[in-house]
Amino acid sequence: MNTDEWTQTLGAGPLLGIAGAAVAVLLILIIGLRVHAFLALVVVSIATAFAAGIPAGSVMDTLTDGFGSTLASVALLVGLGAMLGRLLEISGGAQSLTDAMIRRFGEKRAPLALGVASLIFGFPIFFDAGLVVMLPIVFSVARRLGGGVLRYGLPVAGAFSVMHIYVPPHPGPVAASGLLGADVGLVLLFGLIIAVPTWYITSYLYGVMVGKRIALPVPEILRGGADTTEQDQNPPPASTVIGLLLIPLVMIFANTGLDTAGEAGWIDGDASWVQVAMVVGSTPVALLVTVFVASYVLGTRRDRSRSVIERLLDSSLGPVCAIILITGAGGMFGAVLQASGIGEALADALDGVGMPVFIAAYVIAAVLRIAQGSATVALTTAAGLVQPLVMTGSFSSVEVVAIVLALAAGSVTASHVNDSGFWLVGRFFEMDTKTTLKTWTVMETTIGLVGFGLAGVLFLLG
């Protein structure tokens, strides 16, 4: 039975109560009763599906579709990123780049340097892929300088988040721009103007502050354990590591450029060579190519046997399996909430409140984000709801851009247990659920609030 053939009869109030109870039970299981997050997410997802009235014949399809679609976007990236991280760690490449960065920027500015590098990497690379690629460098810097992983990790994670939310060519702002008829070039320009100061306030300054209060140990997940006796005593130069990290950046950027050119009509987007080139430049393929190149540059060329390289790559996958499964289960929980219709019910209720379009855009996107977890779903759904108001209103091109950015700000607000990104960040930094709520959730919420405030200034000036 397909959930598309089923109509939700519960109103927004009962659905909101079910969602709130589900989140509360989940937190009690994980924080209070110390139930493993994967098991808790699966159990609560099943219970929520039945409580929300999803037909029994569709429950398993809803669960597996949500789990599978999340893994489709996460598993390849995390697995390949972990392999690349293991090669960088064991070869000494991460340490080499760390030493070069510290010499160039100094110890005090290391979090700033890592964050700025992540802003640049985050322009074409999606959040999860960029984070995984940067993690070995983050862990190496944290291990070298001390002060805990959050001091360096939050500025990096926040950089990828603000770029993913506010700046084209990422899918959320592009989709919202298309629905509202906004100029993508202007969205890119003003998105950057908003993203950079938002990152500085909410991710860099906040990350440094929280890092002093919560000094978490540096995870050993990319080392394959605490034993580092295999690490090369003659590490590769920093330029080699930078070159390796640029491979996925260039390939993905080329993919983005071809996609943009095709949509603009500059090239034939349906041409076979364009389609092949876009596949080659897709994020999983770009990371795959990088892993093969790194296996040669950091392995074979440095006199490591193929069997040793195979063993190193294999050892990188075990530690991240739990992260992949928990992230997939988080996506499953979000899919159940989405299938229950809570997002649509709340959006319809809010749509008739009569708020100004700019404020309504933020509020609706934020409520949808909190209700079902996915930032992209929240942004695109909210954009569709305010589209008639924008199209029939007399807004300038800059005001429309500000509305797009307000939608983006709402869609990043309050990442919590129904968001797969919440589990990805929390588990990679080896934070428990309570600490992830105190750090990551707070940071994402401030990214939304500060971005909304800056977009409001733009709207008033537009």
The predicted pLDDT at position 232 comes to 62
* Averaged pLDDT, 143-168: 92
| pLDDT confidence tier of residue 226, bands split at 50, 70 and 90 | very low
pLDDT exceeds 70 at position 351: no
What count of other Cβ atoms lies within 10 Å of the Cβ of residue 167?
26
Reported as a pLDDT band with limits 50, 70 and 90, residue 448 is: very high
Query: Residues with Cβ < 8 Å from 335, sequence gap 6 or more?
Result: 62, 63, 65, 66, 67, 69, 70
| pTM for the structure as a whole | 0.81
Total residues belonging to the chain? 462
Quick one: which H or E segment has residue 88?
Answer: helix 56-91
What pLDDT digit, counting tens, does each position of 288-331 carry? 999 999 999 988 888 888 888 898 888 888 878 888 888 888 88
Higher pLDDT, 146 or 223: 146
Q: Which long-range contacts (CB under 8 A, 24 or more apart) does 54-58 make?
A: 54/3, 54/6, 54/336, 54/339, 54/340, 55/1, 55/3, 55/6, 57/1, 58/1, 58/2, 58/3, 58/6, 58/339
Q: What is the pLDDT of residue 348?
A: 67
Q: What pLDDT score does 228 carry?
A: 45
Higher pLDDT, 16 or 369: 369
pLDDT confidence band for 412 (50 / 70 / 90): very high
* Phi, psi at 311, each rounded to 5°: -65, -40
Local confidence band at 350 (pLDDT 50, 70, 90 cut-offs): low
**pLDDT tens by residue, 449-458:** 999 999 999 9
Mean pLDDT of 90-107: 83
pLDDT of residue 353 exceeding 80? no
How high is the pLDDT of residue 5?
A: 63
- Mean pLDDT for the stretch of residues 329-341: 84
**What average pLDDT score do residues 71-83 get?**
83
Q: Alpha-carbon distance 24 to 35, whole Å? A: 14
pLDDT of residue 192: 93
Residue 123: name the closest of 236, 256, 26 by CA.
256
Residue 39 has pLDDT above 70, yes or no: yes
Q: Kindly tell me if the per-residue pLDDT of 163 is higher than 70.
A: yes
Residue 231's pLDDT band, with cuts at 50, 70 and 90, is low
Contact 281, 320 (CB under 8 A): no
Pick 213 or 351 by higher pLDDT: 213
Condensed to tens digits (0 to 9), the pLDDT of residues 366-400 reads 988 988 887 877 888 788 888 888 887 788 999 99
The answer on pLDDT for 144 being more than 80 is yes
Instruction: Please state, for a pLDDT cut of 70, what percent of the chain lies above it.
Output: 94
Q: To the nearest whole number, what is the mean pLDDT of the chain?
A: 86
417: pLDDT strictly greater than 50: yes
Q: Tell me the percentage of the chain whose pLDDT exceeds 90.
A: 34
Q: What is the mean pLDDT of residues 104-121?
A: 89
Give me the pLDDT at residue 229, please.
42
pLDDT band for position 198 (cuts 50, 70, 90): very high
**What pLDDT is recorded for position 123?**
80
**pLDDT greater than 70 at residue 230:** no
Q: What does the pLDDT read at residue 227? A: 45
Highest mean pLDDT among 251-255, 283-287, 346-350, 455-459: 455-459
